[in-house]
């Protein structure tokens, strides 16, 4: 004859075992779900690389103070702002190279952002013939180039060298994005009086300021 308290103890232990088994099974299911979810996040296809396209860079030369158009092939994003940043990054990479005709340290990382906005002349004219939305899609653009503070601090000082940097940036933007007609500069997101003591960064530059020059392959 089994005592009653042993029967109760056996029933409790059996119930506990069943509950623990259930909990264990649920934990296993959750771990399995997490594993499956992780597998879903894993890259299953290679990222699409933008196809290489020809880009015109207005490359400055300190020796004769000129800008020379050079054709380069580089992957360019579809978005206009990212495209502008990519061509300027390439231009500043050329300047940072050891054999540069216009040596400026910093490289492509010096271009923090390029913002494209409707040019003020268009934005300020609400009575224009075409609707504002259409104007913003086809009208002239103002490019705001945000450069890094380290780039400005490390830029060689001088009227010619600073103006060449500014004009080559303006010319390169216009050559690849013809709608860009005006350019303004920020340094670390703030207005700055000059690039490195000479070239005025408070004004709006017209892309027509950049002198025309002959094309060349690098």
Partner 1 sequence: MAGAFALIVVSTQPSFAQPAPPAPQARFVVVLDAAHGGDDTGGRLANGELEKTLTLALSVRLRSLLQARGIQVVVTRDADGTVEPDQRAEFANHLQAQACLSLHATESGSGVHLFTSSLAPAASARLAAWKTAQSAWITRSLALAGALNSALQQAGMNVTLGRASLPTIDSMTCPAVAIEIAPDLNAGHPALGGLDDPQYQARVAAAVAAALVEWRAEARQP
Which spans of this chain sit near partner 1 (rule: CB under 8 A)? 62-65, 156-161, 163, 193-194, 196-200, 202-203, 205, 209
The length of the chain, given as a count of residues: 218
The count of other CB atoms within 10 Å of the CB of residue 66 is 15
In whole angstroms, how close is the CB of 189 to partner 1 at the nearest point? 22
Q: What are phi and psi of 68, to 5 degrees?
A: -120, 130
Asked whether the beta carbons of 197 and 155 are under 8 A apart, the reply is no
Residue 62's H or E segment, with its range, is none
CB of 123 to partner 1, least distance (A): 21
CB 147 → partner 1: shortest distance, Å?
A: 16
Beta bridge partners of 145: 114, 185
Nearer to partner 1, 116 or 195 (CB): 195
| Least distance (Å) between residue 132 CB and partner 1 | 28
Question: Which residue lies nearer to partner 1 by CB, 125 or 157?
Answer: 157
Nearer to partner 1, 34 or 203 (CB): 203
Query: Could you tell me where the DSSP H helices lie in the chain?
Result: 4-41, 80-96, 120-123, 132-138, 149-154, 159-176
Nearer to partner 1, 107 or 200 (CB): 200
Rounded to whole angstroms, how far apart are CA atoms 118 and 137? 9
At its nearest, how many Å lie between partner 1 and the CB of residue 59?
A: 15
Distance CA 114, CA 184 (A): 10
Of 161 and 168, nearer to partner 1 (C-beta) is 161
């Amino acid at each position: 004859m089994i005592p009653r308290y042993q029967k109760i103890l056996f029933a409790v232990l059996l119930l506990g075992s069943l509950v623990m088994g259930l909990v264990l099974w649920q934990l296993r299911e959750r771990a399995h779900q997490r594993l499956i979810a992780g597998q879903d996040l894993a890259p299953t296809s290679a990222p699409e690389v933008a196809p290489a396209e020809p880009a015109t860079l207005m490359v400055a030369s300190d020796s004769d103070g000129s800008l020379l158009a050079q054709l380069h092939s580089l992957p360019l994003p579809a978005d206009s702002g990212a495209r502008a940043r990519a061509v300027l990054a390439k231009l500043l990479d050329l300047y940072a190279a050891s054999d540069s005709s216009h040596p400026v340290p910093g490289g492509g990382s010096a271009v923090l952002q390029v913002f494209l906005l409707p040019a003020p002349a268009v934005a300020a004219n609400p009575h224009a013939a075409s609707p504002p939305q259409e104007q913003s899609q086809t009208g002239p653009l103002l490019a705001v180039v945000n450069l890094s503070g380290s780039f400005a601090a490390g830029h060689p000082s001088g009227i010619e060298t600073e103006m060449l940097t500014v004009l080559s940036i303006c010319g390169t933007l216009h050559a690849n994005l013809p709608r860009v007609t005006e350019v303004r500069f920020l340094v670390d997101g703030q207005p700055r009086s000059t690039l490195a003591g000479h070239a005025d960064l408070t004004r709006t530059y017209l892309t027509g300021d950049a002198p025309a020059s002959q094309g060349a392959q690098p």
